[in-house]
Amino acid sequence: MQVYLTLLRRELGSFLVSWIGYVTIAGAAFLTGLSFVVLLVKLRLETTAMPVTEMFYATPFFWLILLLGTPLITMRLFAQEKFSGTFETLMTTAVGDWQVVLGKFSAALLAYMLMWLPLLGCIVVVRRYVNDPAAVDPRTVAVMFVGILLLGSMFVAIGCFGSALTRNQIVAAMVSFAIGTGLFVLSFLGDRMGLQTGWTAQVFTYLALVDQMQDFAKGIIDTRPVVLCTTATVFFLFLTVRVIESRRWR
Amino acid sequence: MDAGPIIEVTNLTKHYAGRPAVCDVSFTVHRGDIVGLLGPNGAGKSTTMRIVACYIPASSGTVRVAGFDVFSQPDEVRRRIGYMPEHNPLYQEMRVWEYLRFRARLKGLSRKRARERLDIVTEQFGLKGVRRKLIGHLSKGYRQRVGLADALLHEPELLILDEPTLGLDPHQVRSVRQLIKDLAASRTVLISTHILPEAELTCNRVLIMHQGRLLAEGQPEQLRQQLSAGSQVVAEIAAPADVLRGYLEAMPEIESFDIVHADGLFNRCLITPKPGVDLRPVIFHLAKERGWTLRELSRSRFSLEDIYVRVTETQTDEEG
């Protein structure tokens, strides 16, 4: 536990003193701000029955932040250490592979949640100026953040895996962006292929992250996306550990 | 303290993509030694050290550190060694004390113990004045000290230092060398270098590696004696060259010799004796008996560099 917490603290600290950390957070804040503007314009034009969280989600910026932000946060985790050689110092200390991977993953996940804080700010602003308290239900907001956390942990785990594969941060970011975007595109593939019925259509429905997240934004917790995100996270973290271990088989 | 050897390497072999980097290497390091691993770049020094430090596994052979196997009990081994990799990689964005505290906690030291050890090592390595500086802003000499301080935080029995003086200026080299010597008073040190005079100054035992093989091992003095069989004796004697030649040819201890005129009456003799013979007293007595003036009598002493070149040359000849 001590090793895990020590690693987590160092990783988070190093993210917060790096320019890439601030660029990522500033970029996410800018995109969240843009989606807030879009939302306000929509609200002025017409009344809607959607919860504010779902309206946020309906703007295209949500996925932009998720798909671009996570590779930027995770690309340095292992690649930088391998490049600078500190990985050797780290792995010759009495630490377990899982401790290292979990410490880095948790730090990246915290950094990722930090990136979403401006959204919470926007929601608080809406709540303050909208007369109807039902428009921003704290429970719905909480569920949306659970969704953000779950999806995020999956994308961060993908990022860990991408970063463990290489010593080049750009390659790491590209790999995790490619895998992440691939998963995102799966959401539309079912419809594009004209699949309406049958087991293939069902599989694509399960994998449709866009629709799954929409449920969270509405305030609905469905167990299927919870299971999907959790298993995908564990799977990619497992792959990361295997990649780290692979130096022992070569 | 346990009396057994701290490192036992038996038939160690490591292949990288089918090519051997280390070939059937065996050696033992006893407690309290400062052992130098010598060899040119690519000789397999770093690979050997990485295997002993449990970073990579061997293709075959066994390595035991303080009785623990590096393959099956890596954590026990890691707890007992302080390892400083080549180029001494550090987190540039961290402050010195921050980095050392991080490393101490990572090595499992309690908060209190970490603080105590931090005070001790920063004092020991003269890092007190730069505690709050970013590692990225430190000079190379100071960074090396940070690396050494880190390696010593958990008071390991064995220190493994891969090229600790690489890239330092002569002053820094001297101070790092002194630090290592001080450390060796209380623990075992395995140090690699391709700078031979350094090993000669620091180590009490050397292992010479070349192309992945261990070619020679022993105390620098021992190796020198083994090889001094072929060392030359130089004598400058005031005697006619043909007379000298006659005497030298008659001596059974001499393998070969060469006489060149020095100046005035003096001739310079370069004599190679048979193995294990010290010719100097023989030459002295000869000169004394004949009443010749002797103005120089010396035996060329091999430096570690000569030993190294000879050993690796022999190897290359055998291969050829």
pLDDT tier, A207 (very low <50, low <70, confident <90, very high otherwise) = confident
- Cβ distance of B91 and A10 shorter than 8 Å: yes
Distance, CA of B6 to CA of B29 (rounded, Å) = 6
pLDDT at B320: 43
CB-CB: which of A2, A91, A95 is closest to B55?
A91
Does residue B187 belong to the interface with chain A, where contact is any CB pair within 8 Å? Answer: no
CB-CB: which of B56, B78, B86 is closest to A93?
B78
Does residue B242 belong to the interface with chain A, where contact is any CB pair within 8 Å? Answer: no
pLDDT at B210: 85
Distance, CA of B89 to CA of A11 (rounded, Å) = 16
Contacts of A6 in chain B (CB under 8 A): 102, 105-106
CB-CB: which of B92, B102, B150 is closest to A10?
B102
Which among B245, B275, B243, B271 is positioned nearest to B257, based on CA atoms? B271
Interface of B with A in 103-122 (CB under 8 A): 103, 105-108
Reading across the β-sheet that carries B81-84, which strands appear in turn?
Answer: B81-84, B158-162, B188-193, B34-38, B205-210, B213-218
CB atoms within 10 A of CB A214: 15
Are B158 and B78 spatial neighbours (Cβ–Cβ below 8 Å)? no
pTM, rounded to two decimals? 0.84
Q: Angle of helix B111-124 relative to helix B96-106, nearest 10 degrees?
A: 130
Interface of A with B in 1-30 (CB under 8 A): 2-3, 6-7, 9-10, 13-14, 17-18
Distance, CA of B232 to CA of B297 (rounded, Å) = 11
Contacts of A89 in chain B (CB under 8 A): 83-85, 89-90, 150
- Cβ distance of A88 and B85 shorter than 8 Å: yes
pLDDT tier, A210 (very low <50, low <70, confident <90, very high otherwise) = confident
Q: Read off the tokens for B66.
A: 């303080």
Q: Read off the tokens for A109.
A: 């996940």
pLDDT per residue as tens digits for the range A180-192: 999 888 888 777 7
Reading across the β-sheet that carries B233-238, which strands appear in turn?
Answer: B254-261, B266-273, B233-238, B293-299
List chain B pLDDT tens, one digit each, 320 residues: 456 789 999 999 998 888 889 999 999 999 888 899 988 888 889 999 999 999 999 999 999 999 999 988 989 999 999 999 988 999 999 999 999 999 999 999 999 999 999 999 999 888 999 999 999 999 988 999 999 999 999 999 999 999 888 878 888 888 888 888 887 778 899 998 877 777 777 888 889 888 888 888 888 777 766 665 556 788 999 988 888 899 888 888 888 888 888 888 899 988 888 777 788 888 899 999 989 999 999 887 666 677 777 777 766 555 54
Are A156 and A110 spatial neighbours (Cβ–Cβ below 8 Å)? no
pLDDT per residue as tens digits for the range A63-84: 899 999 999 999 999 999 999 9
Q: Give B297's strand partners.
A: B235
How close B77 comes to chain A (CA, Å)?
8
Q: Is the pLDDT of residue A10 over 90?
A: yes
Question: Mutation test of the interface with chain A: which of B65, B71, B91, choosing the one with the most A Cβ atoms within 10 A?
Answer: B91
Q: Is the pLDDT of residue A22 over 70?
A: yes
- Cβ distance of B79 and A94 shorter than 8 Å: yes
Q: What are B197-201's contacts with CB under 8 Å, separation 24+?
A: B197/B303, B197/B304, B197/B305, B198/B36, B198/B165, B198/B173, B199/B36, B199/B38, B199/B304, B200/B303, B200/B304, B201/B177
- Cβ distance of B55 and A6 shorter than 8 Å: no
- Cβ distance of A92 and B53 shorter than 8 Å: yes
Contacts of B150 in chain A (CB under 8 A): 89
3-state secondary structure chain B: CCCCCCEEEEEEEEEECCEEEEEEEEEEECCCCEEEEECCCCCCHHHHHHHHCCCCCCCEEEEEECCEECCCCHHHHHHHEEEECCCCCCCCCCEHHHHHHHHHHHCCCCHHHHHHHHHHHHHHCCCHHHCCCEHHHCCHHHHHHHHHHHHHCCCCCEEEEECCCCCCCHHHHHHHHHHHHHHHCCCEEEEEECCHHHHHHHCCEEEEEECCEEEEEECHHHHHHHHHCCCCEEEEEECCHHHHHHHHHHCCCEEEEEEEECCCCEEEEEEEECCCCCCHHHHHHHHHHHCCEEEEEEECCCCHHHHHHHHHHHHHHHHC
Sign (positive or negative) of CA dihedral A118, A124, A129, A135? positive
pLDDT tier, A193 (very low <50, low <70, confident <90, very high otherwise) = confident
3-state secondary structure chain A: CHHHHHHHHHHHHHHHCCHHHHHHHHHHHHHHHHHHHHHHHHHHHCCCCCCHHHHHHHCCHHHHHHHHHHHHHHCHHHHHHHHHCHHHHHHCCCCCHHHHHHHHHHHHHHHHHHHCHHHHHHHHHHHHHCCCHHHCCHHHHHHHHHHHHHHHHHHHHHHHHHHHHCCCHHHHHHHHHHHHHHHHHHHHHHHHCCCCCHHHHHHHHHHCHHHHHHHHHHCCCCHHHHHHHHHHHHHHHHHHHHHHHHHHCC
Q: Give B261's strand partners.
A: B267
CB-CB: which of B57, B79, B85 is closest to A85?
B85
Q: Count A/B contacts: CB-CB distance under 8 Å.
A: 64
Q: Which residue of B has its CA nearest to A92?
A: B55
pLDDT at B122: 92
Question: Mutation test of the interface with chain B: which of A76, A88, A247, choosing the one with the most B Cβ atoms within 10 A?
Answer: A88
Does residue A60 belong to the interface with chain B, where contact is any CB pair within 8 Å? Answer: no
Query: Residue B60, Cα to own-chain centre: how many angstroms?
Result: 25
pLDDT at B318: 55
The yes/no answer to whether this complex scores an ipTM above 0.90 is no
Distance, CA of A134 to CA of A47 (rounded, Å) = 14
Contacts of A7 in chain B (CB under 8 A): 106
- Cβ distance of A88 and B55 shorter than 8 Å: yes
Distance, CA of A83 to CA of B282 (rounded, Å) = 62
pLDDT, average across residues A231-236: 96
Q: Is the pLDDT of residue A12 over 90?
A: yes
pLDDT at A250: 65
Does residue B102 belong to the interface with chain A, where contact is any CB pair within 8 Å? Answer: yes
- Cβ distance of A6 and B56 shorter than 8 Å: no
CB-CB: which of A13, A18, A92 is closest to B55?
A92
Does residue A248 belong to the interface with chain B, where contact is any CB pair within 8 Å? Answer: yes
Q: Angle of helix A169-192 relative to helix A209-218, nearest 10 degrees?
A: 90
How close B82 comes to chain A (CA, Å)?
8
Total residues found in chain A within this entry: 250
Contacts of A247 in chain B (CB under 8 A): 55-56
